[in-house]
Structure 1
Amino acid sequence: MDPGGSHIEDDPDVKVMMAGSTLKKVKSRSWKKQRHFRLLEDAVTIWYKSRWAGKGHSTFSISDVEAVREGHQSEVLQSTAEEFPAELCFTLVFHGRQGNLDLVAKTPEEAKAWIEGVRKLIRKAQTMDEKERQDQWVRDWFLKADKNKDGKMNFKEVQTLLKMMNVEMNEDHALHLFTRADKSESGSLEIEQFVHFYKMLTQRDEVWKVFQDYSGDGENLLLEELETFLSMEQHEGGQSYQLAKMLIDRYEPSESAKRQDIMSLDGFQSYLCSQEGSIFKPKHLDLHQDMSQPLSHYFISSSHNTYLLEDQLLGQSSLEAYIKALKRGCRCVEVDCWDGSDGEPIVYHGHTFTSKILFRDVISTLKEYAFKASDFPVILSIENHCGVEQQTVMAQHLSKILGDTLLTTLLDGQVPQQLPSPQELKGKILLKAKKLNNPEDCLDETQTDEVSDEEAEDAESPSTGNPPARKKSKLSKELSDLVVYCKSVHFRDFEHARSNAKCYEISSFSENKAQARAKDEGTDFVRYNTRQLSRIYPDGLRTNSSNYNPQEMWNVGCQIVALNFQTAGLEMDLNDGLFRQNGCCGYVLKPDFMRDSNTQFSPDKPEERQGYKPLRLSIQVISGQQLPKVNQKEGSIVDPLVRVQIFGVPGDQGVKETPYINNNGFNPVWNETLHFDIHTPELALVRFEVEDHDRASRNDFIGQFTLPFTCIQAGYRHIHLLSKDGIAIPPASLFVNISISELT
């Protein structure tokens, strides 16, 4: 059986993986155990077990793996470097928040085969189209459920499998389809027959109804019928002829239909489930914004206490946390630096039991991963608790490791009147820290500088809650000289900033202080943020690494709204949603009324700004497809409901939901329409969340998708759901019909 067209099983590396290898799994310097690993026949599932564990085994899918790193690239393998040479070692990195798998092969050749083999399989999984992905998903389930591994399933086994897949269905109907799929009349289905059975099962009435509305003969859509559908329903405007031709070419499975320029129901359903049929405007996914404006004109994806993988008191500090944040497009990372015992600065959350990592290792990681997801600049926010000596060591590491990547001089040697643009700063790392003088001065004496608010607040010891006494802290000239466009200063008030502040001065605000100012001085805050950067960080009491709602800060134009990237939930969904546009580059251009220094905009009175044009958003929630089970252990099927939330200026915040549907996670149909009036569409985010209704306790989360209002495509659209970690969970989706009109 070939899962997707090209014969990857013939690849020599993949053959080694299928034959199986005994690899050492390493968890720490003291925990190293032999495990037998092999790639199953589906060329997607990796299976492993210990020699002694009897029946116990584990599996994971290639689609769970984000990357393979060679050699000593993880902290665990670095710590065992003397024992295991680099050419035997590799690390499998998983999507989301699942820990890495560190492995050691017996020979360099075996390590190479696994490294290259897994990489080829990841590439293959990424290039699968929607249809192949769906088929692969169905096959994965079949293999999971085929307990005796004979590649066959009788009706009873199929019923059990359907329940595992969240399908509750009429037994007679299921048996009828089973019999139709059982071509050989053997009383059991082989994998290909099961895929066929599943396809019959998933034929969707609601898609067929839409198709019928536009198809003259009820069998096919002619090119002009598809064109009419695209302009009438999908609001595709002028280019609907070319688009119709392209869609037939891309999504119609039948070659003869393609030749006649017609689309079958299968092709139509494929198109609706594709990228073009999704709710997100495809061109907004690409880098499409003007990147030549000053940095202060962009929202910037930003992380707080980037070194932490867990909570703020006992959690682990890790280089992996930096890698994960940077790969998600984060463009501002934070480093808390403290004096280390052997003259080497260390990074951890001061006065707590979080583990410690070396400053120089953080900088090496930054050098390697800073520009993998985006070419635009990374701001390195230093919270400096070191004495002058180790600050100088920090400066040496920064200069030596980062080299030309670190920006250390003004771009044109002129006194800047505005900040440079992301375009001008491509591939550069900027240091945000205290500075003894201004970038245009050339003073050289060491001055004293007061501890800033943020450092006083952030240095609060969680055990006592008392801020340390305000002390004068000396700054190292070497470190100070590396700061150019992000000089940290204490914020006094907006009046003072207007008359005295320089564009390269940046202040930090705790979430509470920022909220208070946003409430009382909204327009002043928006104006301040047209020229200067402001960084917002979570309250010191959030020891569990929870997050605040970033939307309130974006509403007043704050650029660096720092969140705990390690914590899944609504707040990170909003961050991912905002930064999903513009090529996931970590920079999003603010609306024009937030870039004008004389703006009258206030989030509380959106109607008073120029160009005010409120819109009505209507969402018909039609149906759901293959929603995942919340609880695999219990035999229960989900009772799904859809909740739609609007996040934006205070007057736009809203939430509405559909009723729940009993016992159907497979193809629930709601046909409920929800209406929202939106006064500042340019700032609004729309979040779709599916929950499992529970009478007795809180509803369980099933999946979500969040996107900017300005990126929504009207018409019949699919919303491809994401897990708590923001990872795709194909084929789970919602089918909706969206219309946007002017509010009269």
Structure 2
Amino acid sequence: MESPHQTRVQDNDNLRIMTAGAVLKKVKSRMWKRQRHYKLLEDCKTVAYKSSWARSSYSTFSVCDVEAVREGHQSEVLLSMADELPEERCFTLVFRGRRGNLDLVAESAEEARAWIQGMRTLIANIENMDDSEKYDQWVSDWFMKADKNKDGKMNFKEVQTLLKMMNLDMNEEHAHFLFTMADKSHTGSLDGEEFVHFYKMLTERREVLDLFKEYSSDGQTLSQCDLEEFLREEQMEGESSQALALELIDRYEPSVIAKTHQCMSIDGFLMYLTSPAGSIFNPGCQSLYQDMSQPLSHYFISSSHNTYLLEDQLRGPSSVEAYIQALKRGCRCVEVDCWDGSNGEPVVYHGYTLTSKILFKDVISTIASYAFRVSSYPVILSIENHCSIEQQRVMAGHLREILGDTLLRTTVDGKIPSALPSPGELRGKILVKGKKIGGLEESLAGVEGDTGEVSDEDEAAEMEKEGSSAENTTSEKKKSKQSLCKELSDLVVYCKSVHFSSFEHSRGAAKPYEMSSFSESKARKLTKETGAEFVQHNTRQLTRVYPSGMRTDSSNYCPQDMWNVGCQIVALNFQTAGLEMDLNDGLFCQNDRCGYVLKPEILRDPNSGFDPEMPQSCPGYHPVTLSILVISGQQLPKTKKKEGSIGDPLVRVEIYGVSMDQAKLETAHVENNGFNPCWNETLNFTLHCPELALVRFVVEDHDKTSKNDFIGQYTLPFTCMQPGYRHVHLLSKDGTSIPPSSLYVHVKITELSSLTPMDLQHEK
């Protein structure tokens, strides 16, 4: 079956070279280098490779899984071998999710350039496909996967096998009837185009067709007036429905004739519903829509803990790649644990453990390269300093030389601040968080001195108390005072680490540029016992929260409790997928994914009196009801690899927010249909503090005898939800998209104040 982009091979020299194949050297270390034969398959979507000693068996990976191509010595492995591997022959394929990168060395610079440019062309082709093309390509990929003898045809038995592979347990009689209709050539088998036609008939969206007919005046199309009514009544678009109707017809209607008559066919309607405009996530929240001129303390800031680690906290590897991945995900606060290294060069690793070490200067170089590729807003370097005075001076030198003008060295206006500057004022700047000798007042006055002593009651000491440094002997434990060199101290401007005494002390004595760090257990204790005071504290001061030192497996705590009291820098182990990172990704998927989200007014106003344990006592209290009709699922991925097994999916909707709002409800499971299941179940929630709520959709494969298997999830802020008929585009465990997998739902949001007494009684 021909790929939609296959014809481009003949017109592209790079793709011709790739399809011809090449021997490339796969490199993992100085000791591990292997020759592999790589070639691009004719579908222009798959790269096959095999060992030089393998006779015929190729392994493959999809071009769709490749996120980027890095040229030259940009990976940690290739950089460490720069002396023996010519830069012009080296390149790195970066995969989505948690799969490791692939470092390759070509036999010539010309060959490397062909693969680099060719891969970039293929990636761009995929990114430029519209939704319809992507869907057809997805079906085509399945056809090619099942066409074992590569003759471009499949009989009914082969089609049955393929549909089971695709997670669909079909009605055989109905499927055979559609198969016969699709067999235009009357050969008893389907070619690629016929299979796509058959597949579309088999998976017709009856629930969408019924909705279409409900609003269609003639049962065939939606006129402009019909579509306006649908947008107004169901999608709650209000006064914008007229202009939006014309825009949607122009953008999504595939029929030129229908466009001319300003109406929409069922195909156009389905394309709209499955598009970003029909997504549950409001497109208006995807752009930079928030005010970025308020003090830093008024924002949630995407933050990473032990950023240098790829795995666990005891033996796992440290890597600059971990910084790259975090920064690419919009992280704006990264942690750098610094220790004395050999040859006078500071190193970064998890102290007193067997985690590997990387050079401090390599970490800073990586941050310099990737800090502002995703977001132009400030990056905070959270420095945990364990170095001697001599190596602290080396650190300060590297920071100044490598970061250059991006390093913030003084206040934005050269004056002592009465409040923190805004993210907008700090665009393109890197801030150092750490200990400081004295305050900004002394720094700006140019007070002389080479070194000074600072209190060492910081987060490192807290972590020792929690047991993270169990291998640390008594003689190695940190003293109550630490020597700090002035060069490094002077680089700390707006993020001076100070020990937290009490909220009372903070109110009376804290400077705007002072901030404290709390272990998760201490922060949780404060949220429960003095939540309102914590909220007020966080309107003025920055607060950092980090995982317990006992989490040696790099697991995470739930960040929601900390966000509820306005903690800005809630640091998580970005390397560990799961619920906690889903929540982090969900919160920060808005506002252009810039890593800064403006906190709700109740968390910015020091006089709000907001207490997350009693939201109803706040003057701005406005509860809502959220009703989600879970209608159907589309093309859910299989979780069980066993041949012939079919999924039994269920959907769970989870609410994360203040304690009163925490809730989970789920549908029944649908047996033997992981492909296009229908639930038609309504799940109802009451949100007492909607501005802090995150909504998480989880799809699982029901299992009677063991834990359900994860299929997909999607998390978003309640404030970014669109009402009406919407699609929820599912993500994998790693947070990467898994098209075309989705849920089809109807969302209804009602202000409780507008409900009748009977409705209120029903809510109870």
Aligned to 1:742: 751
| Alignment pair present for 1:529 and 2:543 | no
Q: Which residue type is aligned with residue 360 of structure 1?
A: K
Aligned to 1:506: 515
Question: Compared with structure 1, are the counterparts of its residues 514 and 6 closer, same or farther at alpha carbon in structure 2 (3 Å cutoff)?
Answer: farther
Where do 1:592-611 residues align within 5 Å? 592-611=601-620
Where do 1:131-210 residues align within 5 Å? 131-210=132-211
SS of alignment partner, residue 168 of structure 1: coil
Aligned to 2:316: 315
Aligned to 1:331: 332
Q: Which residue type is aligned with residue 310 of structure 2?
A: L
Return the alpha-carbon distance in structure 2 between the equivalents of residues 501 and 634 of structure 1. 64
Q: Of 493, 502, 524, which aligns to 1:515?
A: 524
Aligned to 2:757: none
Return the alpha-carbon distance in structure 1 between the equivalents of residues 472 and 751 of structure 2. 51
Q: Of 610, 614, 623, which aligns to 2:623?
A: 614
Aligned to 2:567: 558
Aligned to 1:486: 495
Aligned to 1:568: 577
SS of alignment partner, residue 582 of structure 2: helix
Q: Deviations along 1:204-224, whole A, 9 cap, x unmatched? A: 110011001001221111111
* RMSD value, Cα: 1.3
Aligned to 1:81: 82
Return the alpha-carbon distance in structure 2 between the equivalents of residues 452 and 111 of structure 1. 52
SS of alignment partner, residue 344 of structure 2: coil
Where do 1:51-62 residues align within 5 Å? 51-62=52-63
* TM-score for the superposition, normalised by structure 2: 0.96
Q: Deviations along 1:641-675, whole A, 9 cap, x unmatched? A: 00000000000000000000101011100000000
Q: Deviations along 1:106-161, whole A, 9 cap, x unmatched? A: 11111111101111111111121111111111111111111122222121111111
Q: Of 444, 457, 469, which aligns to 1:452?
A: 457
Q: Deviations along 1:209-268, whole A, 9 cap, x unmatched? A: 100100122111111101111111011111111211111111111111111111111111
Q: Deviations along 1:502-547, whole A, 9 cap, x unmatched? A: 0100100000000000111101100110011000000000000000
Q: Of 627, 633, 643, which aligns to 2:642?
A: 633
Aligned length: 744
The 10-residue stretch of structure 1 (223-232 or 326-335) with the greater mean CA deviation from structure 2? 223-232
Aligned to 2:440: 439
Is the contact between residue 511 and residue 539 of structure 1 (CA under 8 Å) also seen in structure 2?
yes
Aligned to 2:710: 701
Return the alpha-carbon distance in structure 1 between the equivalents of residues 5 and 286 of structure 2. 26
Where do 1:182-581 residues align within 5 Å? 182-441=183-442, 442-445=446-449, 446-459=451-464, 462-464=469-471, 468-581=477-590
CA apart distance, 1:458: 3.2
Aligned to 1:670: 679
CA apart distance, 1:80: 2.5
Is the contact between residue 5 and residue 44 of structure 2 (CA under 8 Å) also seen in structure 1?
no
* TM-score for the superposition, normalised by structure 1: 0.98
SS of alignment partner, residue 484 of structure 1: strand
CA apart distance, 1:440: 2.1
Return the alpha-carbon distance in structure 2 between the equivalents of residues 159 and 72 of structure 1. 48
CA apart distance, 1:466: 6.8
Q: Which residue type is aligned with residue 354 of structure 1?
A: T
Return the alpha-carbon distance in structure 2 between the equivalents of residues 280 and 471 of structure 1. 50
Is the contact between residue 458 and residue 497 of structure 2 (CA under 8 Å) also seen in structure 1?
no
CA apart distance, 1:350: 0.4
Q: Which residue type is aligned with residue 532 of structure 1?
A: Q
Q: Deviations along 1:72-121, whole A, 9 cap, x unmatched? A: 11121123323220000000000111000111111111111110111111
CA apart distance, 1:392: 0.5
Is the contact between residue 3 and residue 43 of structure 1 (CA under 8 Å) also seen in structure 2?
no
Aligned to 2:761: none
Is the contact between residue 352 and residue 461 of structure 1 (CA under 8 Å) also seen in structure 2?
no
| Alignment pair present for 1:114 and 2:115 | yes
SS of alignment partner, residue 174 of structure 1: helix
Q: Deviations along 1:390-434, whole A, 9 cap, x unmatched? A: 000000000000010000011112110100000000000000010
Q: Which residue type is aligned with residue 325 of structure 2?
A: K
Where do 1:631-670 residues align within 5 Å? 631-670=640-679
Q: Deviations along 1:277-318, whole A, 9 cap, x unmatched? A: 000000101110000000000000000000000000011100
Q: Deviations along 1:354-405, whole A, 9 cap, x unmatched? A: 0100000000000000000100000000000101100000000000000100
Is the contact between residue 282 and residue 721 of structure 2 (CA under 8 Å) also seen in structure 1?
yes
SS of alignment partner, residue 157 of structure 1: helix
Return the alpha-carbon distance in structure 1 between the equivalents of residues 702 and 198 of structure 2. 29
The 10-residue stretch of structure 1 (153-162 or 485-494) with the greater mean CA deviation from structure 2? 153-162
SS of alignment partner, residue 493 of structure 2: coil
The 10-residue stretch of structure 1 (210-219 or 508-517) with the greater mean CA deviation from structure 2? 210-219
SS of alignment partner, residue 107 of structure 2: coil
Return the alpha-carbon distance in structure 1 between the equivalents of residues 295 and 199 of structure 2. 53
Q: Which residue type is aligned with residue 714 of structure 1?
A: P
The 10-residue stretch of structure 1 (6-15 or 691-700) with the greater mean CA deviation from structure 2? 6-15
Structure 1 unaligned segments of length 5 or more: list them.
none
SS of alignment partner, residue 447 of structure 1: strand
SS of alignment partner, residue 541 of structure 1: coil
Q: Which residue type is aligned with residue 671 of structure 2?
A: N
Q: Which residue type is aligned with residue 159 of structure 1?
A: Q
The 10-residue stretch of structure 1 (216-225 or 660-669) with the greater mean CA deviation from structure 2? 216-225
SS of alignment partner, residue 646 of structure 2: coil
